[in-house]
Amino acid sequence: MSILILVRHGQSIYNSENRFTGSLDVDLTEFGKQEAKIAGLKLIDFKFDFAYTSTLKRAQESLQIILLEMHQTKIKVIENEALNERNYGNLQGLNKDETINKFGAKQVAIWRRSYAICPPEGESLEDTFNRTIPFYKLEIEPKLKLNTTILIVAHGNSLRALVMHLENISKEEIPNLNIPTGVPKKYIFDENLNVLENKYL
Point out the residues that are catalytic.
9, 85
Phi, psi of 110 (to 5 degrees): -65, -45
Alpha-carbon separation of residue 153 from 78, 117, 190, 192 (angstroms): 11, 25, 22, 24
Residue 186 · residue 3 · CB < 8 Å = yes
Question: Whole-angstrom Cα distance, residue 49 to residue 64?
Answer: 15
Question: Whole-angstrom Cα distance, residue 21 to residue 166?
Answer: 25
Residue 50 forms beta bridges with which residues?
76, 150
DSSP 115-183: SSPPPTTS--HHHHHHHHHHHIIIIIHHHHTTT-EEEEEE-HHHHHHHHHHHTT--TTTGGG----BT-
**Helix crossing, 57-70 with 30-42: angle to 10°?**
40
